Amino acid sequence: MSVKKRTSKNVLLDTALNNFYGAAEEMGLEDGLIEILSRPERSISVSLPITMDDGSIRVFEGYRVQHSTALGPAKGGFRYHPDVDIEECEALGSLMTWKCSLAGIPYGGGKGGVSCDPLELSMSERERLTRTFAARVAPIVGEWTDVPAPDVNTGAPEMVWFMDTISKLRGRLEPGVVTGKPISIWGSKGRTAATGLGVAICIKEMLKAEKIDVKGTRVIIQGWGNVGTYNALSLVEAGAKVVAIADVTGGYYVPEGIDVARAFDHINNHPKKLLEGYAQPGLERMSSDEILLVDAEVLSPCALEGAVNAKNAGAVKAKYIVEGANGPVTPEADAILAEKGVSIVPDFLANSGGVIGSYFEWVQNLNGFFWTEEEYNNRLIPIMTENFHRVMNYAKAHEVKMRRAAFLVAIKRVADAVKMRGTFL
């Protein structure tokens, strides 16, 4: 490979680039295709002047990156977090490209967000911020161009505000411009649980492949939003024991098992949807990072990137890691864990249930015809199961780790589309 490799000081982007270049070199991808696929098609930064509740004006920075539209409209969420920047969005957008490709759905990859602390914003301030962001990125989003979705610290309310703003600007209803909407407003039954359900499917299929009974298997879940909670609920229903959970308020460890239904109800009744104040017999409090190291068979990091890194990977006791978050295991940690014999199901395979679910919602929006939750899940489960085994079988046949196998399978589909479509515009 004679292409000069791009590098970045942003850990997540550097990780994404290294994974891409490694897979591209291994598969013998042409230099021209490497150049194209290592860069986003479009990146924009926008300023968002917002009138705060006290009458003052604050200007926030927002971003939207379209990494690839070779297979279809760019697809990826937008998040609200203090650490959001253009490089993070590029990295996450590229992961969405490979995720959609691997899932076999007609989407490319994109990502966006606003640099802010959402916990400091009132609901009315969040609405103004979302509507202003929607207006600023309106020229590049649409049902057949770029379809955002919920991400870290965004959810159904933000999707409704985004859709409503775009629809009013264009003078027509455009429900398919975002996914993750509430069921009452063009949403889809089953969408809320889709990502977590998909992660749980991968955990169960991995255990089955390893001939391990899911019943009684101990699981750690870092992150207690939609992904973590529905992952936990599905696993407990199958007989697994979730021994530790965490959110921004810290870690919660019960060796005999967290009462997952109780913890789920707790956040739903908490004004800020947090685990703060959660209690049950035998509970031990610790930091969110410390729960990664407790004794369990499976670790499922479902929070932010870089949770498992060079500093703590050596102390991880779990033998299986299934990534619910984007980029939760750094390359340095990957190498350490490989030496320990830890098996990892990569993020863009494990958490693809969300984007597959978003695809289902989009299809229903375009047709104006809605499915039952049972129909939704009956379509999701076989796709996730098939994708898991396709990657696992490829990994075994080519004697590579699952992360590399997933990249090889996903990159080839996008590269083939780019070659067929050509390089015009």
Residues 75 and 149 sit within 8 Å (Cβ to Cβ): yes
Contacts made by residues 364-372, CB under 8 angstroms, sequence distance 24+: 364/188, 365/143, 365/175, 365/176, 365/179, 365/186, 366/143, 366/176, 370/188, 370/189, 371/188, 371/189, 371/190, 372/189
CB atoms within 10 A of CB 162: 27
Q: How far apart are CA 248 and CA 38, in angstroms?
A: 33
Which position among 4, 5, 99, 111 bears the catalytic label? Answer: 111
Q: Is the dihedral of CA 184, 188, 189, 195 positive or negative?
A: negative
- Which position has the token pair 């992660």? 199
Please name which of 55, 45, 40 lies closest in space to residue 133, comparing C-alpha atoms. 45
Tell me if residue 111 is catalytic: yes
Q: How far apart are CA 386 and CA 356, in angstroms?
A: 13
- The distance of Cα 415 from the centroid of its chain, to the nearest Å, equals 22
Q: Is 3 helix (H, G, I), strand (E, B) or coil?
A: coil
Which residues are designated catalytic?
111
